[in-house]
């Protein structure tokens, strides 16, 4: 309910200013990276920097349009927007593959990536759903529906397949955690179906982060041993595939945990401990099996990149092979030194030398770091961190749950893109190919991030008009 509806309200000019700075720095970096003396004009549409300038203009125009729309519209039409987004993700599966994935919708060189815009649609619908919930009465249905909103586009994107966008969608899980939507109701329902066992609450919701680290640990362990064979001394001559070896050790760990709890607790409490140990083993087995199956289904180059990141492949033998992009990226970043080589003076990370692949898109951080060095890179990182912290501040000052959930969704999406993109360039993350927000060349990413940000600015500008 609103007591007043204004067109512009109170705009957060600080956030808008940071976004415009990053956008300008991105255009300048793309121009430097792909510069050709015969095409000096930054508005030359035959060159990527001309197209990037055009996309920036289009993005700002679209941003202004979505800003002019009253914020109630996004709430009222959240479901139709989401349905249209899913429809586009379905259509794109029948389009010709580009770079091994059915991610583009369009003709020839003109097209968009529906996956980029699906992030906005998912954020809006998730905000609408959580905003309408009574958090004190969350049920299995509400938890499943909230996760379903996230999983539907994730499945569609996995079918393309687009590993980078798929990973970014896991950012929404942190938003659910922030809003208290844990898996406790589901776990309580399953456990309390067992005779003689009654739990009133679980600690899953309040221990989300530790559990997440356990899941990551199990996933990495599975990947490390998925292609190995394990021979146990108690079964001489018998070799277990790596996945089953991992399961065996998880089983032994579960037994040891139960024995320790049995010695320390009463008989009744030990019974509950046994249930927890069994459920823990079943969940761990499910996680490892899912990770193993998904890993085996990945494309060859994707598997190789993950193996390289985990140290399963000799990096020395891959310098000019599947890992050439990371090796060349880190070389260009390091060559920038403390203060860099100067604007338009990059020698490794530019389109002309082709030393670093995709230097204007996925590896846009490389030419920037080479030209401006550690000092310039530090300034860029500070700008991104400041922008994300500003969004968190905006989220916490909202009166509306819808606004807060949407703001946190934007913050987490930006964080994933920022951390993974720069991490790829300095060997802190596997190469999965996602753009640096407002920086990398690309129309879809520029438009989607701009629309996402201007919707946030609109919601925040009218926050004082919201009564409940």
What's the CA gap between 250 and 450, in Å, rounded? Answer: 46
pLDDT band at 3 (very low <50, low <70, confident <90, very high): very low
What's the average model confidence in pLDDT over 180-190?
A: 68
Q: Strand 110-112 to strand 105-107: parallel, antiparallel, or no bridges (unpaired)?
A: antiparallel
Residue 59, domain member (yes or no): yes
Does 286 or 90 have the greater pLDDT score?
A: 90
Name the token pair of 417.
């893109």
239 forms beta bridges with 231
pLDDT in tens, 49-96: 899 999 999 999 999 999 998 888 999 999 999 999 999 998 888 877
pLDDT of 6 above 60: no
- How far does CA 376 lie from the centroid of its chain? 25
Which pLDDT value is given to residue 132?
86
Residue 270, domain member (yes or no): no
Which pLDDT value is given to residue 390?
95
Residue 144, domain member (yes or no): yes
- In the chain, how many domains are there? 1
Q: Whole-prediction pTM value?
A: 0.79
What's the CA gap between 446 and 48, in Å, rounded? Answer: 13
* Weakest mean pLDDT among 164-173, 322-331, 356-365, 450-459: 322-331
Question: Nearest 5°: CA angle at 123, between 460 and 79?
Answer: 105
Does 227 or 259 have the greater pLDDT score?
A: 259
Which pLDDT value is given to residue 196?
55
Residue closest to 436 by CA, chosen among 416, 418, 419: 418
pLDDT in tens, 211-227: 666 666 666 666 666 55
Q: Exposed/middle/buried for 234, CB within 10 Å: 0-12, 13-18, 19+?
A: exposed
What's the average model confidence in pLDDT over 192-214?
A: 58
What's the average model confidence in pLDDT over 437-448?
A: 90
Give the domain range for residue 154: 13-182+319-465
Residue 132, domain member (yes or no): yes
Residue 282, domain member (yes or no): no
Q: Which of 95-104, 354-363, 408-417 has the highest mean pLDDT?
A: 408-417
Residue 252: C-alpha distances to residues 182, 277, 278, 280 (Å): 28, 11, 11, 12
CB contact burial 193-228 (16+ within 10 A = b; e otherwise): eeeeeebeebeebeebeebeeeeeebbebbbebbee
What's the CA gap between 461 and 458, in Å, rounded? Answer: 5
What is the dihedral angle through the alpha carbons of 448, 450, 453, 458, rounded to the nearest 10 degrees? -110
pLDDT in tens, 167-183: 899 899 888 888 877 76
Residue 240, domain member (yes or no): no
pLDDT of 107 above 80: no
Residue closest to 370 by CA, chosen among 388, 347, 351: 347
pLDDT in tens, 411-426: 999 999 999 999 888 8
Query: Percent of the chain scored above 90 by pLDDT?
Result: 30
Residue closest to 374 by CA, chosen among 337, 342, 348: 337
Which pLDDT value is given to residue 468?
47
pLDDT in tens, 296-317: 655 555 666 666 655 556 555 5
Rg (C-alpha) for the chain, rounded Å, is: 25
Residue 303, domain member (yes or no): no
Residue 224, domain member (yes or no): no
Residue closest to 417 by CA, chosen among 175, 164, 220, 213: 164
Query: Percent of the chain scored above 70 by pLDDT?
Result: 66
Residue closest to 119 by CA, chosen among 145, 93, 81, 91: 81
What's the CA gap between 418 and 26, in Å, rounded? Answer: 13
Residue 328: C-alpha distances to residues 197, 313, 359 (Å): 58, 17, 10
């Amino acid at each position: 309910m609103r007591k007043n509806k204004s067109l512009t309200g109170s705009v957060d000019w600080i956030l808008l200013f940071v976004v415009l700075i990053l956008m300008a720095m991105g255009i300048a970096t793309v121009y430097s990276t792909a510069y050709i003396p015969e095409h000096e004009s930054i508005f030359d549409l035959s060159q990527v920097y001309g197209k990037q300038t055009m996309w920036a203009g289009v993005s700002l125009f679209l941003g202004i349009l979505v800003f002019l729309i009253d914020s109630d519209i996004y709430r009222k039409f959240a479901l139709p927007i989401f349905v249209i987004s899913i429809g586009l993700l379905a259509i794109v599966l029948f389009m010709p593959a580009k770079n091994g994935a059915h991610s583009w919708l369009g003709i020839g060189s003109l097209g968009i990536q529906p996956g980029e815009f699906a992030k906005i649609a998912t954020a809006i619908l998730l905000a609408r759903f959580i905003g309408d919930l009574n958090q004190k009465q969350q049920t299995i249905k509400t938890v499943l529906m909230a996760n379903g909103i996230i999983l539907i586009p994730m499945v569609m994107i996995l079918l393309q397949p687009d590993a980078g966008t798929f990973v970014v969608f896991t950012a929404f899980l942190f938003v659910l955690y922030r809003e208290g939507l844990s898996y406790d109701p589901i776990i309580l329902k399953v456990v309390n179906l067992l005779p003689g066992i009654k739990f009133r609450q679980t600690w899953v919701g309040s221990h989300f982060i530790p559990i997440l680290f356990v899941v990551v640990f199990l996933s990495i362990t599975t990947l490390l041993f998925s292609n190995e064979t394990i021979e146990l001394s108690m079964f001489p001559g018998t070799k277990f595939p790596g996945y089953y070896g991992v399961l065996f050790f998880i089983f032994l760990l579960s037994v040891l945990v139960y024995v320790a709890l049995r010695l320390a607790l009463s008989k009744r409490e030990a019974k509950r401990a046994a249930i927890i140990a069994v459920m823990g083993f079943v969940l761990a087995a499910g996680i490892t099996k899912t990770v193993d199956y998904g890993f085996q289904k990945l494309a060859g180059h994707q598997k190789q990149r993950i193996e390289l990141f985990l140290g399963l492949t000799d990096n020395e033998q891959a310098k000019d092979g599947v890992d050439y992009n990371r090796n060349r990226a880190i070389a260009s970043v390091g060559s920038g030194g403390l203060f860099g080589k100067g604007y338009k003076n990059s020698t490794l990370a530019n389109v002309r030398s082709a030393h670093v692949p995709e230097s204007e898109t996925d590896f846009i951080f490389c030419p920037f770091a080479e030209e401006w060095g550690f000092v310039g890179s530090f300034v860029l990182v500070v700008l991104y961190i400041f922008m994300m912290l500003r969004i968190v501040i905006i989220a916490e000052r909202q009166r509306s749950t819808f606004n807060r959930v949407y703001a946190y969704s934007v913050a987490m999406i930006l964080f994933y893109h920022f951390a993974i993109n720069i991490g790829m360039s300095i060997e802190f993350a596997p190469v999965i190919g996602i753009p640096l927000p407002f920086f990398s060349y690309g129309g879809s990413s520029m438009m989607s991030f701009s629309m996402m940000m201007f919707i946030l600015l609109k919601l925040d500008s009218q926050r004082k008009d919201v009564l409940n």
